[in-house]
Amino acid sequence: MPLFLKPIFHEKVWGGSKLKTFGYNIPNERIGECWGISAHPNGKSEIENGHYAGQTLDQVWREHRELFGEFPSKDFPLMAKIVDANAPLSIHVHPDDSYAYENENGQYGKSECWYIIEADDNAEITIGTHAQSREEFENQLKDGSFEKYLRTVKVQPGDFYFVPAGTVHSIGAGIMAYEVMQSSDISYRIYDYQRKLHNKKRELSVSKALDVMDYSNELPNIAPQNEVIENHNCTHIVSSDFFTMVKWEITGTLNYMKPREFCLISVLEGKGKIIVDGDIFELEKGTNFVLTSEDLDSVFEGDFTLIISYI
């Protein structure tokens, strides 16, 4: 039986109210993130259905690893969230696995991929810097010119960007994005516009950021692979060492065969149902769930857009 998950909401200084459009009952008008699928200590998704209802995803991961094909990892490896950037996020960077393991108590690093759901006219992201070295970036920080050397890209709905660990980045104002990432909540902020949350400035971590930043000035060359399967459009957005991310645009019936022991699935548009081993489960925009190793025969029916992710 699939594990359907209750969303977790995080207030952010840059957050807004657009997550309401997913049918979510958000607690206030400054919600920046919906953690749809998470076993991270900072936000543990609660299972809403079946035998494990009321338990958290991390608990089921620890106690019932057979549901995940006995996957050889201490922690649940992935996270899926929706970001509502009413204002720009901080300029920040994430460490890779080796740095995080050594400096953040054995945690995962964070590589991630963004799929742009909504974007205002002229909305843009920051991804990478033209600085060629740590020394050059430090000098730009000291003289206040570093923002001029950041790489910015205008975005529109349907775009996607792979953001490897070490890439300085930010999501700009007026963007809603779906993110798949390693299960990590480590961010090293470089600049935060002097903003305060609850009358307190958020902490910067410039020294660690400089340690982990990639100065190669190269962006990953991600070319989507589109194919039509059973009359449905399937787009392979990214396949990396950390995760694969696929968008399905389904109209009608799709007989789905899991590519791995377990998959993370989020509904971004539309509604329908999934029939798993004869049991019917309704799906709608904002639904998040995990297909487990025990879910053998899956059929999607309806008119909706899904993101399916897996190792």
Mean of the pLDDT values across residues 212-239?
A: 86
Both 64 and 200 in a single domain?
A: yes
Both 173 and 274 in a single domain?
A: no
Reported confidence tier of residue 198, pLDDT bands at 50, 70, 90:
confident
- The secondary structure of residue 168, as a DSSP letter, is -
The answer, yes or no, to whether residue 8 has pLDDT greater than 80, is yes
Question: Which residues are documented as binding site?
Answer: 94, 112, 169
Contacts of 3 (CB under 8 A, 6+ apart): 47, 49, 50, 52, 57, 60, 67, 289, 290, 292
DSSP 129-173: E---SHHHHHHHHHTT-GGGGEEEEE--TT-EEEE-TT--EEEPT
Instruction: Mark which of 177, 210, 243 sits at the end of a domain.
Output: 210
The whole-chain average pLDDT of the chain stands at 94
Catalytic entry in 134, 189, 195, 260: 189
To the nearest whole percent, how much of the chain has pLDDT over 70? 99
Retrieve residue 218's tokens.
Answer: 């190269």
Both 105 and 235 in a single domain?
A: no
Identify the CATH number of the domain in which residue 267 sits.
2.60.120.10
Whether residue 216 lies inside any domain: the answer is no
Both 82 and 231 in a single domain?
A: no
Both 135 and 171 in a single domain?
A: yes
- The secondary structure of residue 109, as a DSSP letter, is -
DSSP 25-58: --SSS-EEEEEEE-EETTEEPEE-SGGGTTSBHH
The pLDDT of residue 20 is: 97
Domain of 247, in residue numbers: 223-308
Residues facing 88 on adjacent strands: none
Whether residue 217 lies inside any domain: the answer is no
Closest CA to 276 of 297, 304, 258: 297
The pLDDT of residue 219 is: 73
Whether residue 116 lies inside any domain: the answer is yes
The answer, yes or no, to whether residue 65 has pLDDT greater than 80, is yes
Retrieve residue 56's tokens.
Answer: 């958290």
The pLDDT of residue 221 is: 65
Both 194 and 236 in a single domain?
A: no
Is position 202 annotated as part of the catalytic site? no
Predicted structure pTM score: 0.94
The pLDDT of residue 223 is: 76
Tally the domains of the chain.
Answer: 2
User: At residue 98, what are phi and psi to the nearest 5 degrees?
Assistant: -65, -40
Question: Which residues are documented as binding site for Zn(2+)?
Answer: 94, 112, 169
Both 197 and 236 in a single domain?
A: no
Whether residue 280 lies inside any domain: the answer is yes
Both 201 and 227 in a single domain?
A: no
Mean of the pLDDT values across residues 19-48?
A: 97
To the nearest whole percent, how much of the chain has pLDDT over 90? 88
